[in-house]
Structure 1
Amino acid sequence: MNLAPLLDAAPAIPLHAFAAMAAFVLGIVQFAAPKGTLPHRTVGWIWVALMAVVAASSFWIHQIRMVGPFSPIHLLSIFTLVMLPLAVWRAHTHRVADHRRIMIMTFIGALVVAGLFTLVPGRIMHQVFFGT
């Protein structure tokens, strides 16, 4: 593994990548840890903030251009920015099943599936993990 391609990229890219990696790890912790506790809520707020950084920073990343400077992945960023406050609201109003469903959907879609696309040859994370 070589972090040089990531660290040499435009500032939005390492911010996006490191926030996504941190959100992935915290997401796994959230799924494994007891729910409804103060640590769950605290780590949850950190996760929401990281996901907001991941989604917002994506608007400054334009390696794939399909519609002007944007690609369909940016629709996922909009979706994430809409769903995060909705999921928090669902938890706040004790609609736990809705909260859980939205968070799982966001974790899988915005981190796991979108993250796998970063490993496609020619992408920076492919270079980080597999070399040039």
Structure 2
Amino acid sequence: MTLEPLLAAGPIVYTHAFAAIAAAVLGVIQVAAPKGTLPHRSLGYVWAGLMVWTAGSSLFIHGIRMIGPFSPIHILSVVTLIGVPMAVWAARRGEIRRHAKAMKGYMIWAVLVAGIFTFYPGRLMYQVVFGPD
């Protein structure tokens, strides 16, 4: 394992990756921890910020180009940029079921599914973890 390819990719890419990794770890903690507590709310805001950074920074990463400079994963980025703040707002309004459903969905789609695709052979994170092709 080497961070060299990641760090050489530039600040948008490596901050995107580090935010995504932190969101994945923090998300697992959030799912397992007691809900409605001050730590849950505090870490939730941090998680939401990491998700917004990850989704926003992805709009400037164009490793796979299918529709101009974008790929289908960018649709998930736009949905995340809109949906995560809406899910936070739902919790603040007391719509806890809506909030919980949305946040679990973002953990599954934006963190786990998108994260799995980053380890496809030839992709940057594959090179970081497994070495050059």
TM-score range, shorter chain: over 0.9
Paired letter, 1:84: V
In structure 2, C-alpha distance between the alignment counterparts of 1:5 and 1:131, rounded to whole Å: 9
Alignment of 1:17-56 (within 5 A): 17-56=17-56
Deviation at 1:95, TM superposition (A): 1.1
Aligned to 1:75: 75
Residue 25 of structure 1: how far off its partner (Å): 0.6
TM-score, normalization: structure 2?
0.97
Q: Secondary structure at the match of 2:59?
A: helix
Q: Does 1:12 align with 2:12?
A: yes
> How much has 1:63 moved relative to structure 2?
0.5
SS in 2 for 1:60: coil
**How far 1:54 sits from its partner (Å)?**
0.1
The residue number in structure 1 matching 2:103 is 103
Structure 1 position 10, deviation (Å): 2.2
How many Å separate the matches in 1 of 2:60 and 2:96? 34
What letter corresponds to residue 85 of structure 1 in structure 2?
P
Q: What's the RMSD between the two structures over aligned residues? A: 0.6
Gaps of 5+ in 2: none
Quote how far apart the aligned CAs of 1:11 are.
1.7
Percent of counterpart pairs with the same letter?
55
Residue 63 of structure 1: SS of its match in structure 2? coil
